[in-house]
Amino acid sequence: MKARLNLTIDNTLLENIKGYALKQQTSVSELVENYFKSVTKPAKRKNILALVDKLEKPGNVNTKADLKELYYQDKAKKYGF
């Protein structure tokens, strides 16, 4: 179901947008509706792999180290056990 909406805009802008709509073979109402849809559309969720790729790469990590053991050692230091 469609509803009416009254907008107040500058006359020059209105004439320009009417010309644009004519060239695009659409209406001003459709342009406004499509704009509102794009603005209110929820943001796309990012892929976790893309987020991981953006993480800063630490330069001092030994790739041959037992990371699990280092984790437990760090927690033992932090919590004193």
Average pLDDT over residues 42-51: 83
Q: Is residue 24 part of a domain?
A: yes
3-state per-residue secondary structure call for 30-81: HHHHHHHHHHHCCCCCCCHHHHHHHCCCCCCCCCCCCHHHHHHHHHHHHHCC
What's the pTM?
0.52
Nearest to 35 by CA among 74, 7, 64: 7
Q: Say if residues 46 and 60 touch (Cβ distance below 8 Å).
A: no
Q: How many domains does the chain have?
A: 1
Span of 2-16, 31-45, 57-71 with lowest mean pLDDT: 57-71
- Give the range of the structural domain holding residue 24, as residue numbers without chain letter: 8-54
pLDDT score of 78: 87
Q: Is residue 76 part of a domain?
A: no
